[in-house]
Chains A and B, each alone.
Chain A
């Protein structure tokens, strides 16, 4: 007696439907990881709150001096910390990819008749939701310490979208790191460490003009600066369209370079 193999269609249409359905299943899985680890969610929520409070009350006095007169440090700080927070949040997939590989569940997914793309696209989908949550949370903390939008609702919303977009573009780098390292511990460090120079050597916390030669030029070209300036313009005015277009270009460029690399790495890993 033979057991009939499950009937699965391999037509291009069926494959496409499968890519969407499987991405949904995987996105659900990764979202559950956030929900089922409340301690992790707690600390990743506390971290941006801590940064906001530390920077505003510890450095606010000193750095506030070097700002354009009339600009409040809380207003200046929130877009900067926002971009830093989404950048840090983008490091989650590095650990998750390495963990899946280490625990053998990555092999299970590879042996299933699912769309191969779904593991990565599900990861990105879930993290897009998480990015949006983080950005909202940060705006809320901002309101508590005195941050206010100066522009229209549309401008506020566009700033929100840009912040999420930056985080999502960085996810692909994080995925690539997670697929490349040998274990979870390395992924934890490797996924995180490069984000420190990137976010601190920028306009996130201080005006770029105050940085020494060399570092200043780096900061001016740093995508973090461009995103921070774009969001600052949208939220505090004046709106800088060049920064907005440049940041979208950066997000597209990062995705175009690192998404195929991530997919390639996943296929051959």
Chain B
């Protein structure tokens, strides 16, 4: 399948800060790519370059086959953009906002009207369609902004932190919508600092840090980099702990005790790798030696673990949006 988004060696400098330091990216048509990274890692700058809003200092990028610098008009006809801040007009109603953007996507008057009505219904905004957008809640505004981004049926969609600052219910609504959009064949590049979001939505994830791609792959591939799954066994009686550990190390040499908050051991972790047979074997041998098990849990590494392994830092979502840093540097 051809790539809908291709970026090669994008570099961009703001004053002292190298915002992009050679970003490479290729997103196959019809897939969802998560662009994951902490604040100031270059996610938003990347999207701004791809959406023709910012000229890179060097490097090239193509959207749907068109060069973002040489053929920016055609690129704009092929993209939808929903940024970190809801770019809706508070003085216009929801319906008027969508019709206006539809017209500017060069839809005919009737088609813009029809698409606006259709999206208002689909995004559950119909009840507020004729109210000025300034009266909308944060979640409603994000939905309206998303509707504006897709009204032109652009084949490539950029969503820059679509759920930052939203409550869990609104966040889920946006996720649902994003999933249904991609079913229709849209290519989506989604930036996020929420690891869960990338995990939930993206086919593949590109991890970016200090303006550079530091890892790429499916969520599972990234997770297996940090060692794959582990079996956690909690014992009923802490006194049986030493015996349990002795039994388990005979079948899995890497088994180790996990200390809890009060430095009491009661749980043993058995790294599994790809060997799922080990689950049954471990439980079976403990059972044979009459060591009672209270709880069994197969733990998959989270993307937090991935980030920690890759960068040595925790990927803590920060309240300050990416762009403010960029703004301050200018």
Give chain A's interface residues, CB within 8 Å of chain B.
1-6, 8, 10, 18, 21-22, 25, 28-29, 32-33, 36-37, 103-105, 107-114
The residue on B at minimum CB distance from A182 is: B327
**Chain B hits for A112, CB < 8 A:** 76, 101, 104-105, 152
Residues of B within 8 A of A33 (CB): 91
> Which of B18-26, B33-41, B78-86 is found at the contact surface with chain A?
B78-86
Within 8 A of A (CB), among B99-140: 100-101, 103-107, 132
In contact, B74 and A6 (Cβ under 8 angstroms): no
Task: Report yes or no: A104 in contact with B85, Cβ–Cβ below 8 A.
Answer: yes
| In contact, A111 and B91 (Cβ under 8 angstroms) | no
Are A6 and B103 in contact (CB-based, < 8 A)? no
Question: For residue A2, which residue of chain B has the nearest CB?
Answer: B185
Among A6, A29, A113, contact of B73 (Cβ-Cβ < 8 Å): A113
Task: Name the distance in Å between B185's Cβ and chain A's nearest Cβ.
Answer: 4
CB B165 to nearest CB in A, in angstroms, measures 14
Q: Name which residue of chain A comes closest to B132, CB basis.
A: A36
Q: Which of B86, B148, B185 contacts A3 (CB 8 A)?
A: B185
Q: Give 1 or 0 for each of B155-199: 1 = CB within 8 Å of chain A CB.
A: 100000000000000000000000000001110000000000000
- The answer to whether B101 touches A8 (Cβ under 8 A) is no
Complex interface: chain B residues within 8 A of A21 (CB): 103
Cβ of B89 under 8 Å from chain A: yes
Are B104 and A22 neighbours in the complex by a CB distance under 8 Å? yes
Q: A2-B29, A3-B185, A6-B77 are in contact. Are A107 and B53 (CB under 8 A)?
A: yes
Is B13 an interface residue when CB atoms closer than 8 A count as contact? no
Given contacts A110-B52, A113-B73, 15 further A-B contacts (CB under 8 A): A3-B184, A3-B186, A6-B105, A6-B106, A18-B106, A22-B103, A22-B104, A25-B103, A28-B100, A29-B100, A36-B92, A105-B89, A108-B101, A110-B53, A111-B76
Closest to A112 in B: B104
Q: Majority SS of interface residues in chain A?
A: helix
Chain B residues within 8 Å of A4, by CB: 153, 155
Give, as a whole number of angstroms, the nearest-CB distance from B51 to chain A.
5
In the complex, 18 of the A-B residue pairs with CB atoms within 8 angstroms, ordered by the A residue number, are: A2-B30, A2-B185, A3-B186, A4-B155, A5-B155, A6-B106, A10-B74, A18-B106, A22-B104, A29-B89, A36-B132, A103-B87, A104-B83, A108-B101, A108-B148, A110-B52, A111-B81, A114-B104
Complex formed: what's the CA distance from A10 to B79 in Å? Answer: 16
Which residues from B are CB-within-8-Å of A104?
Answer: 83-87
Compute how far the CA of A8 lies from the CA of B107 in the bound complex, rounded to whole angstroms.
9
A111 touches B101 (CB 8 A): no
Please provide the 7 A-B residue pairs with the shortest distance between their CB atoms, ordered closest to farther.
A113-B77, A108-B87, A104-B87, A104-B85, A114-B104, A36-B91, A1-B185
Determine whether the beta carbon of B91 is less than 8 Å from that of A37: yes
Report if B257 contacts A (CB, 8 A).
no
**B36-91 interface with A by 8 A CB criterion:** 48, 51-53, 64, 73-74, 76-79, 81, 83-91
A180 to B76, CA, bound (A): 25
Contact pick for B96, options A8, A32, A114, CB 8 Å: A32
Provided the pairs A5-B154, A29-B100 are in contact, do residues A113 and B87 lie with their beta carbons within 8 angstroms? no
CB distance from A27 to the nearest CB of B (A): 11
Query: Does the CB pair A1–B30 fall under 8 Å?
Result: yes
CB closest chain-A residue, reference B183: A1
| CB-CB nearest in chain A for B74 | A10
State in angstroms the CA–CA spacing of A28 and B148 once bound together. 18
Determine the chain B residues whose CB is within 8 A of the CB of A108 once the complex forms: 81, 83, 87, 101, 148
Complex partner residue of B83 from A2, A6, A107, A113, CB under 8 angstroms: A107
In the complex, the chain B residue whose C-beta lies closest to that of A24 is B103
Q: Which residues of the other chain, B, contact A3 by a CB distance below 8 angstroms? A: 153, 155, 184-186
Most buried by B among A22, A33, A36: A36
Complex interface: chain A residues within 8 A of B88 (CB): 105
Closest to A102 in B: B85
Complex Cα–Cα for A177 and B73 (A): 27
Which residues does chain B contribute within 8 Å of A109, judged by CB atoms?
104
Which residues of chain B are near A6, meaning CB under 8 Å?
77, 105-107, 152-154
**Which residues of chain A have C-beta atoms less than 8 A from B184's C-beta?**
1, 3
Known: A112-B76, A113-B76. Is A105-B87 also a contact (CB below 8 A)?
yes
Decide if B92 touches A5 in the complex (CB within 8 Å). Answer: no
Give min CB distance, A113 to chain B, whole Å.
Answer: 4
Contact B155–A111 (Cβ < 8 Å): no
From A36, A104, A108, residue with most partner B Cβ within 10 Å: A108
The CA-CA distance from A113 to B152 in the complex, in Å, is 10
Q: Which of A5, A21, A22, A29 has the most CB of B within 10 A?
A: A5
Write the nearest CB–CB distance from B132 to chain A, whole angstroms.
6
| Complex CA–CA separation, A111 to B149 (angstroms) | 10
Max chain B Cβ within 10 angstroms of own Cβ: one of A18, A29, A109: A29
The one of B64, B90, B105, B155 in contact with A113, judged by C-beta atoms closer than 8 angstroms, is B105
